[in-house]
Copies of this chain bind each other. A is one copy, B any other.
Amino acid sequence: MSEKLVKIDRIDRRILELLQKDGGLSNQELAEKVGLSASPCLRRVKALEEAGIILKRVTVLERKKLGLALTVIILIGMDRHTPERFEEFESRVAELSEVQECYLITGQDADYMLKVVIPDMDAYHVFLLNKITRIPGVSGVHSSFVLRRVIDSMELPLAYC
Contact = CB atoms under 8 A, between A and B. Distances in A.
Nearest to A104: B148
Interface in A39-97: 51-63, 65-68, 71, 73, 90, 93-94, 97
Nearest to A145: B106
Interface in A125-160: 142, 144-160
A60 B58 CA distance: 7
Contacts of A16: 59, 61
A22 B57 contact: yes
Contacts of A33: none
Chain A interface size, under 10 / 10 to 19 / 20 to 34 / 35 or more: 35 or more
B100 A146 contact: no
The 9 closest A-B pairs by CB, nearest first: A24-B57, A23-B57, A97-B157, A19-B59, A104-B148, A23-B59, A102-B150, A105-B144, A102-B151
B65 A60 contact: no
Contacts of A117: 156-157
